């Protein structure tokens, strides 16, 4: 598609929604829009069986549980259909230093006081020799270590999923079609825009069909056929902070029980993921082409997988960053078309979900308002900047210096917003969550402690407790968690009982 034709036209109420592209992003958008507004809208999704999807976003975070509740999706049906397992966090292996590991888990750690977070009381306990590891006071982390899982009363266990991304798109397609979405097979060969408004008027397919619409959602992946090529929205490159620009993925047979966490294994030039599903394991290596070639990275990956490979490794190239606008005119980009942050914290599907929920909150039924577009873009930009900073943290705060990759990451200049958070925690032990920020205080604390940052001080409220009181406070939390974890079944047993896939 070298150019876009232009025609004239005006603004209009949104009644026809055209989703360009399928995959996880396209079918999540179709599912949500059709479930909520399907009776009022004409919704079409264009995808081609000949164009593959990236399809490696197989690890999620707990927000997807809430998304499914909004759509009234049955969890057992979804998990069986996508051969899913449960996820309680991520095991970061070799990130702080070679052969030093930690877990970033979901949920809360300990009990906060209104003046100070639990980490201050834990820090005081460590000084006095009264406290164990920070993770000893987090239920989800301890359950992950013991490879146990169960649903608890009153949503007492925070969890997410490992899932087959291709099967998930198929599951959502069936859901969407039941709610009136029309799927159109075809490749996009042209986009017609209005000379008067600059809005997209129609999409032309290789069959010659013109698909008209009022709102176009770009889910065409890295190609960004609508937001990038037709609407000419620039892309901001974040490679100065996020060195990785390549990934190689491969699937292997399962050779053991599925664990309830994602494994993130650091290498000298990147990191490797291992995601256990019911029927197989998803593997991949994320790396920087400045520090390693494709063959070297693939060899490192294949040397560190378990089980027979089910496919040849495939390489994906990307540029970390974000579109300067994710909504322009009547075109909204969702998923890879809008930007990409590597999957280290499993945020890809979350960002798709947030984009869709934000659209539903601002849905332009009576016509597209520039103030809505501006607010949407502002929120999207702020949100991904917060996530970007959290991801940079993993590379910058490390004791590793064994390779040029890690030395350069440790010595790079980081965004001022991240520098402030690191300095604040290192000096005072304090972490403050910004409004609408995805990662809460506990996530920042777990990763900063895990990567080797120990606060120099703690809040004086912790000093008001004597040794006996502090020991009892910490001991009661740990004891309660230990008791709960000991009563949980193994994760493998629970999955087989609750949502076993027919394979």
Catalytic residues: 87
Strand partners, 235: 323
From edge to edge, which strands make up the β-sheet containing 270-276? 100-105, 89-97, 262-267, 270-276, 280-287, 246-253, 314-317
Cα separation values, 163 from 1, 80, 275, 366, 390, Å: 34, 10, 9, 37, 24
Q: Which residues contact 416 (CB under 8 A, 6 or more apart)?
A: none
Do residues 341 and 384 make contact, with C-beta atoms less than 8 angstroms apart? yes
Q: Which residues contact 155 (CB under 8 A, 6 or more apart)?
A: none
CA distance 19 to 111: 45
Q: Which helix (H) or strand (E) holds 189?
A: strand 188-194
Do residues 368 and 215 make contact, with C-beta atoms less than 8 angstroms apart? yes
Tokens of 65: 């549980």
CA distance 123 to 27: 46
Q: Where are the beta strands (DSSP E) in 195-304?
A: 200-205, 210-212, 215-218, 235-237, 246-253, 262-267, 270-276, 280-287
Do residues 356 and 33 make contact, with C-beta atoms less than 8 angstroms apart? yes
**CA angle, residues 78, 276, 90, in degrees to nearest 5:** 100
CA distance 77 to 250: 26
Short-list 353, 357, 352, CA closest to 338: 352
Q: Pseudo-torsion of CA 215, 220, 221, 226, nearest 10°?
A: -60
Do residues 262 and 346 make contact, with C-beta atoms less than 8 angstroms apart? yes
Q: Which residues contact 108 (CB under 8 A, 6 or more apart)?
A: 118, 138, 442
Q: Which residues contact 226 (CB under 8 A, 6 or more apart)?
A: 20, 191, 200, 203, 216, 218, 220, 331, 333, 337
Q: What is the C-alpha radius of gyration for the chain, rounded to an integer number of angstroms? A: 24
């Amino acid at each position: 598609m070298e150019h876009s034709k232009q025609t004239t036209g005006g603004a209009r109420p949104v009644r026809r929604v055209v989703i360009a592209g399928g995959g996880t992003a396209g079918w999540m958008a179709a599912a949500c829009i059709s479930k909520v507004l399907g009776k009022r809208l004409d919704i079409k999704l264009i995808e081609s069986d000949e164009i593959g999807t990236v399809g490696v976003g197989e690890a999620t975070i707990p927000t997807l549980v809430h998304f499914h509740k909004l759509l009234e999706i049955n969890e057992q049906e979804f998990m069986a259909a996508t051969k899913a397992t449960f996820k309680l966090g991520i095991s970061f292996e070799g990130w702080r230093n070679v052969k030093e590991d930690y877990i970033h888990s979901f949920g809360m750690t300990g009990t906060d006081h209104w003046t100070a977070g639990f980490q201050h009381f834990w820090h005081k306990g460590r000084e006095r020799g009264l406290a164990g590891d920070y993770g000893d006071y987090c239920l989800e982390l301890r359950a992950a270590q013991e490879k146990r899982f169960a649903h608890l009363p009153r949503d007492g266990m925070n969890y997410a999923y490992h899932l087959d991304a291709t099967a998930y798109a198929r599951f959502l397609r069936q859901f969407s079609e039941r709610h009136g979405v029309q799927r159109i097979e075809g490749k996009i060969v042209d986009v017609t825009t209005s000379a008067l408004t600059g809005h997209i008027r129609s999409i032309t397919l290789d069959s010659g069909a013109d698909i008209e619409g009022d709102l176009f959602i770009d889910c065409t992946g890295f190609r960004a056929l609508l937001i990038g090529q037709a609407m000419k929205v620039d892309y901001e490159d974040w490679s100065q902070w996020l060195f990785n620009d390549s990934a190689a993925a491969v699937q292997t047979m399962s050779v053991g029980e599925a664990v309830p966490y994602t494994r993130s294994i650091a290498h000298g030039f990147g990191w490797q993921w291992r995601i256990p599903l019911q029927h197989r394991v998803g593997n991949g290596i994320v790396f920087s082409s400045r520090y390693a070639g494709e063959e070297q990275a693939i060899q490192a990956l294949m040397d560190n997988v378990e089980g027979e490979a089910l496919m040849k490794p495939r390489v994906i190239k990307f540029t970390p960053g974000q579109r300067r606008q994710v909504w322009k005119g009547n075109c909204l980009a969702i998923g890879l078309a809008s930007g990409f942050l590597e999957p280290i914290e499993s945020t890809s599907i979350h960002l798709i979900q947030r984009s869709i929920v934000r659209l539903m909150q601002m849905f332009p039924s009576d016509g597209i308002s520039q103030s809505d577009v501006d607010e949407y873009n502002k929120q999207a930009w702020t949100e991904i900047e917060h996530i970007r900073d959290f991801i940079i943290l993993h590379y910058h705060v490390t004791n590793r210096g064994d390779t040029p990759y890690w030395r350069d990451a440790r010595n790079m200049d980081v965004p001022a917003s991240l520098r402030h958070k690191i300095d604040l925690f290192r000096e005072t032990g304090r972490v403050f969550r910004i409004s609408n920020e995805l990662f809460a205080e506990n996530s920042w604390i777990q990763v900063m402690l895990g990567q080797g940052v120990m606060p120099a001080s703690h809040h004086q409220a912790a000093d008001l407790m004597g040794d006996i009181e502090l020991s009892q406070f910490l001991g009661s939390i740990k004891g309660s968690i230990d008791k709960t974890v000991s009563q949980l079944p193994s994760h493998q047993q629970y999955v087989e009982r609750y949502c076993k896939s027919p394979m």
